[in-house]
Amino acid sequence: MGGALLEYWKRGDESFTIVDPFLENAPEGVTLVKDRAALGDKRFDVIIVAIKPQMIDDILPDYAPVLADDGYVVSMAAGAGIARISKVMATGDEPAPVIRIMPNLPAFVGKATNGLVAGPGVTDDQRKHAHAMMERTGTVVEVDDEDQLDRVTAVAGSGPGYVFELARAYVAAAEGIGFSHEQARALVLGTLEGTIAMAIDQDDQSLEDLRNSVTSKGGTTAAGLDALNGDGAVSRKFEETLEAAYTRAVELR
């Protein structure tokens, strides 16, 4: 995920350095070093945490001295709270300002939906800078606290999995009424892409109004919608899906 985001981050005015003992090549224009020692006495305006949460306490303290006096930390380490990262990145008695982000899989094609929450001590300029960086990868939704970021995880972080599963079932159903897999995939993905584009373009209309605009009384769409969610089963299933994902996100804090 970090590599996918970096491809879009580096389109800004900043220069980037990666520390990774296993990576062989970095994206064009990005500096790659193998360990902390290779940084020497350099200091950075932003340190981006893109490691597993269980590695934080062992690895991050060594990087506290390379954070500039007016710098801040961006973390995408799921399950690692702001207070924990701020503490291990502290210089002296001063906790480091930390912004947590929650990107999702479409970052690989520059269509991420990112959650962002700023911790204590983050300046308005730092928040705006992080927001601008994330906008290069897609859209940004800023939230007020880390509990809301867990809810972003349930909706958007895990969301591509739900959409892929719905598309898979939709394609399978299209095959079931006589289309080849290639035909079914083209019909379903094209329909999803066009419908989402229309909903985004016509954001002055509610999704209910858009649905009704294609639903004639007694027509094929009405029959299909009645079979799909006439009893509210799909609505209830989505509620259960998001609640389950949110509960798990809380458990992983």
Show the domains of the chain with their CATH numbers. Answer: 1-143 (3.40.50.720), 158-252 (1.10.3730.10)
103 assigned to a ligand binding site = no
| pLDDT on residue 92 | 77
Q: How far apart are CA 56 and CA 48, in angstroms?
A: 12
Taking residues 145-172, what's their average pLDDT?
A: 97
pLDDT digits (tens, 9 = 90+) for 215-225: 999 999 999 99
pLDDT at 33 over 80: yes
> φ, ψ for residue 120 (rounded to 5)?
-60, 140
Q: What percent of the chain has pLDDT over 70?
A: 100
The distance between the two most distant Cα atoms of the chain, rounded to a whole number of Å, is 73
53 assigned to a ligand binding site = yes
| Burial class of 86 by CB neighbour count within 10 A (0 to 12, 13 to 18, 19+) | buried
pLDDT at 253 over 80: no
Taking residues 116-128, what's their average pLDDT?
A: 97
pLDDT digits (tens, 9 = 90+) for 2-13: 889 999 999 999
Q: How far apart are CA 137 and CA 100, in angstroms?
A: 15
pTM of the model: 0.89
Using 50, 70 and 90 to split pLDDT, how confident is the model at 34?
A: very high
244 assigned to a ligand binding site = no
Using 50, 70 and 90 to split pLDDT, how confident is the model at 232?
A: very high
pLDDT at 135 over 80: yes
118 assigned to a ligand binding site = no
Range in 91-95, 127-131, 168-172, 229-233 the model is least confident about = 91-95
Proportion of the chain in helix, strand, coil states, percent, rounded to 5: 55, 15, 30
Can you say whether the dihedral through the CA atoms of 38, 42, 48, 53 is positive or negative? positive
pLDDT digits (tens, 9 = 90+) for 14-31: 999 999 999 999 888 999
| pLDDT on residue 65 | 94
| pLDDT on residue 91 | 80
Encoded tokens for 2:
């970090």
pLDDT digits (tens, 9 = 90+) for 41-99: 999 999 999 998 889 999 999 999 999 999 999 999 988 899 999 999 998 788 999 99
**Mean pLDDT computed over every residue of the chain:** 95
pLDDT at 127 over 90: yes
